[in-house]
Amino acid sequence: MGVFYSRSTLRMVEEASDREMTPVVEERAGGVLLVPERWGLPSDGTRDAARRLRRVWNLFRPCLRTRTRDASRHALVYLRGVLTMDAKRNYANIARRVNGVDDDGQNLQHFMSDSPWRARAVFDKVQALAALRPELRGGVLTLDETGKKRSGTKSAGAARQYLGRHGKVEVCQVGVMLGYYKKDCWLLVDAELYLPETWFDEGHADLRRRWHIPPERAFKSKVEIGLEMVLRAKENGLPFAVLCCDTLYGRSAWFRRALDAEGITYLAKVPSNTLVYLEKPEVGVPEKTGRGRKPERPRVLNGVEPVRVRELAENPNLEWREVTVRQAERGPLSHPCAALRVWTVDESGAAEEWLLIRREEDGDCSYSLSNAPEDTPLETLALWRSARYFAERTFQDAKTELGWDEFVALKYRAWMHHTAIDAIALWFVAETKLDWAKRHPPDPGLRRQLGVEELPTVSVANVREMLKEALPLKRLSQREAMRLVLKHLYGRARATRSRLKKRRGKGPPREPTR
């Protein structure tokens, strides 16, 4: 039986906006008056958040349609589910809690798993909207990957591969993710499910078709996927100042050279055994001398010897400076940092780069290479390095607040669509924070009264709490709960009957062989 969305369902946000707003009672905590306006919040924050959710959904509606059908209303249901539910965010439960007990979630599942709307259009829209916000200009683009363990290899892209969360090789799905950070706002601006090379053999042809993997898709490494996403962000006009990435991408000299050729500034982590030169090496193919084959590969010709970056960190003459990278809840966060100009060599020749060395809290050092101009201050390099923290914040919000860890995707489209909806949710939170900060700046006296450098900003969890009040989920009555149980029992009985019919049609079961 199909589900017909009532007018009240489609107008749920307007109805929440029209409800009478309970005035905020002035309270004090530690002598501080708890008034929304003093903290940078509108007095009708819950209503405003509900209105904004529908407005953001309307902005993305063209991206959520197919050529023949507009089923974008399901995106609003799913978006509301991931933002207001705390657990069991599967299709059936989201549909039931948002629309009512009569919705079994089949329409929602089809929209998320099978409908051919383009997730790529959603990411392009997020980038276009970010480019229009002056507050987001000059941010940091972050390239990283995230994965989730799987119990089998039937899910799209699932295979034995390195899973960073567990620090070992597991059967998992891995996505390459592109984030964006600027001043307390972090966004998910692009993503792609990584498909290992084994997924393009003949044995996976049927799964590629069933799981909606695009037929034109060919194998690409994570580094190749990452470069495509960065170049796409540049082409879309996303106003980033620098790209920051982890060791997987930084160790690829080809990747760094490709970024440099495109005029993209990068700060890329590299392993501690990376070889660099302190003097400029002359690179070329040596002339043939004596007997043997003619040399073909380029080499260092002027006898300059390379050193490992970890050896440079042990040099007693290295100049270290304590650099404050951001204000954290425990106070200013700072690291001892040092930077020096070095040369790296690959088959294309030698390139001069910055080497940033940062000493971590446990005493170990991390190393990053950058093509930033020679006059770039150490403080700027250190700030770029710290921005990678917000790539992890993007993943943390998606997993903890938006149900990523609960999501199980068999199909390629399901993975891409869920990630796109999460990107819309993160944009909704970021836009809300930016608008509230602009229209309701916090009271500067509050910062002095509390004795802190910066006041905390609204988090994804804070916005979700407001939406829960403005858009309450449906609760089952005793009669509805009983009816739901009976429907489940009836469905299980029908499934058993169907299996028995198939078994009878195949004749009696065979005797087991020894």
Residues 307-359 have pLDDT tens digits of 999 999 998 889 999 998 877 766 678 899 999 999 999 888 889 999 999 99
How far, in Å, CA of 161 to CA of 147, rounded? 10
* Pair 268, 174 in one domain: yes
Cα–Cα distance measured from residue 17 to residue 407, given in angstroms and rounded to the nearest whole number? 30
Are 397 and 460 in contact by the 8 Å Cβ rule? The answer is yes
Q: What are phi and psi of 469, to 5 degrees?
A: -75, -40
- Is there a single domain that holds both residue 128 and residue 107? no
CA pair distance 18, 101, nearest whole angstrom:
25
**Residue 53 domain boundaries:** 7-116+459-470
Among the ranges 294-308, 381-395, 416-430, 459-473, which has the highest mean pLDDT value? 416-430
- 213 with 195: CB under 8 angstroms? yes
Mean per-residue pLDDT, 423-447:
89
Cβ neighbours, 10 Å, residue 27: 9
CB atoms within 10 A of CB 291: 5
Q: Hunting for tokens 């500067």 — which residue is that?
A: 444
223 in any annotated domain: yes
On whether both 194 and 148 belong to a single domain, the answer is yes
Q: Which pLDDT belongs to residue 451? A: 77
Among the listed ranges 73-82, 107-116, 441-450, 464-473, which one has the minimum average pLDDT value? 441-450
Q: How confident is the model at residue 2 (pLDDT cuts 50, 70, 90)?
A: very low
Q: Where are the alpha helices (DSSP H) in 262-297?
A: none
Q: How many residues does the chain have?
A: 514
Domain assignment present for 452: no
In 3D space, the residue among 31, 19, 60 whose CA is nearest the CA of residue 425 turns out to be 60
Quote the CA–CA distance of 177 and 420 in Å, as a whole number: 11
Q: How many CA atoms lie within 13 A of 117 on its CB side?
A: 29
Q: How far is CA 473 from the centre of its chain?
A: 27
Which of these ranges, 205-214, 427-436, 454-463, 487-496, has the smallest mean pLDDT? Answer: 487-496
Structure tokens at 330: 């425990």
| Residue of higher predicted confidence among 162 and 284 | 162
Are both 190 and 265 inside the same structural domain? Answer: yes
- Other Cβ atoms less than 10 A from the Cβ of 7: the count is 8
Task: Specify whether 221 is located in the same domain as 313.
Answer: yes
Structural domain contains residue 488: no
The DSSP bridge pattern shows strands 365-370 and 266-270 to be: antiparallel
Q: Which of 358, 376, 398 is the last residue of a domain?
A: 398
- 132 and 69 both lie in a single domain: no
Q: What is the pLDDT of residues 444-463, one digit of tens each?
A: 888 787 777 777 888 888 89
| In-domain check, residue 147 | yes
Question: Is the distance from CB of 123 to CB of 190 less than 8 angstroms?
Answer: yes
Contact between 85 and 96 under an 8 Å Cβ cutoff? The reply is no
In this prediction, residue 262 carries a pLDDT of: 96
> Residues 198, 263: one domain?
yes
In whole angstroms, what is the distance from residue 324 CA to residue 382 CA? 8
Answer yes or no: do 311 and 381 share one domain.
Answer: yes
Q: What is the mean pLDDT of residues 28-54?
A: 78
What confidence tier does 422 reach under pLDDT thresholds 50, 70, 90? very high
Last residue of a domain, one of 398, 424, 440: 398
pLDDT at 16 over 60: no
> CB of 163 within 8 A of CB of 169?
yes
164 within some domain: yes
Residue 439 maps to a domain: no
